[in-house]
Amino acid sequence: MFMNRRQFISKSAAALAIGSIAGKEMFAAEAPKSNSGRIGIQLYSVRNNLPNDFVGTLKKLSDIGFSAVELYGFNAETVQFLNRPIKEINSLVNLGGMRISSTHAGSGLLPEDTNAPAWDYWKIISNQIKSVGGEWAISASLPTRRPSSLDDYRRIAAHFNRVGDVCKRRGVRFAFHNHHEVFERIEGEVPLEFLIKNTDPELVSYQLDMGHTVRGGGNILNLLRTYPKRFPLWHASDYHSTNEAYTNLGQGSVPYKAMFELPELVNLEQLTVEQESTEGDIFALCKIDFDFLKQFSWTRV
């Protein structure tokens, strides 16, 4: 998910050619849908399919049963996602009985003055996601590559607080999505926990990526118990510690059954699948993940 995302988005946008009229006809051929349940999907999972068949890809995700989609790499300069205005995407998503819940985004460290032009990025992202009923603008990764000191993380925490404030003023909530590197101790501290302790809970939440957490050596159950209100978002992925590889949900080392039995589950608001594989039938893999998650009562409410 993390590697070469900007390059991929650029190439994908250039290749996108399916029209919205055809998409509406495709969905209109069926009875109106309203997918139930609480299982969403990060569209980066189907990044190799969207450019060539945008509408068909959404339809297949809808048919699996996903109730929400999370965008990625939304372009604040063109105000589009893969060459499509967000309201057009929202219309297609809604026709499939789904909704846009959030978007992954990202910038480098920005000036302290949130009136500076560079801050237009997060302002546009917030306004756009709000305009279609989305609730979250999520930093997909750290704003700097490989921070090497706690001072670096202090600057990141301050940046996140400012991003959170910018988003909150526009009616959207802000969260940070972790990768495995935030579990590599620096000066005796676990960076993810350092960020949690140094960010305002009223402004910054966290989207805990399960597979990345296990890969980094993090203890998911301890994190959820220790910071019960800081992880309203879960990214459902799985990682097999012995094989050192990402896998389908329930086939790796993420303790999903124990997680869904935690009293802290009451604080979970959004569950989003991210299928890490790029081999095989991606829709079959996404269905395996969906079918695994639907066994838990929380997902069906």
Alpha helices (H) along 113-270 = 120-131, 150-168, 191-197, 210-216, 220-226, 256-259
CB distance 41 to 273 below 8 Å: yes
SS3 69: strand
pLDDT at 49: 95
Residue closest to 191 by CA, chosen among 175, 207, 205, 180: 180
Residue 113 CA neighbour count, 13 Å, CB half: 3
Complete DSSP assignment for 30-65: S------SSEEEEGGGGTTTTTT-HHHHHHHHHHHT
Rounded Cα distance between 201 and 114, Å, is: 19
Compute CA distances 74 → 125, 129, 137, whole Å: 7, 10, 10
Rounded Cα distance between 184 and 51, Å, is: 35
The fold of 5-300 is TIM Barrel (3.20.20)
Q: Is 284 exposed, middle or buried (0-12, 13-18, 19+ CB in 10 A)?
A: exposed
pLDDT at 16: 42
Give the containing element (helix H, strand E) for 20. Answer: helix 20-28
Rounded Cα distance between 13 and 78, Å, is: 11
pLDDT at 33: 80
One digit per residue, the tens of pLDDT, for the chain of length 301 reads 434 444 444 444 444 434 455 556 566 566 568 899 999 999 999 999 999 999 999 999 999 999 999 999 888 889 999 999 999 999 999 999 999 999 999 999 999 999 999 999 999 999 999 999 999 999 999 999 889 999 999 999 999 999 999 999 999 999 999 999 999 999 999 999 999 999 999 999 999 999 999 999 999 999 999 999 999 999 999 999 999 999 999 999 999 999 999 999 999 999 999 998 878 899 999 999 999 999 999 998 7
Whether this model's pTM surpasses 0.85:
yes
pLDDT at 12: 44
Q: Would you kindly state where each structural domain of the chain is located, as residue ranges?
A: 5-300
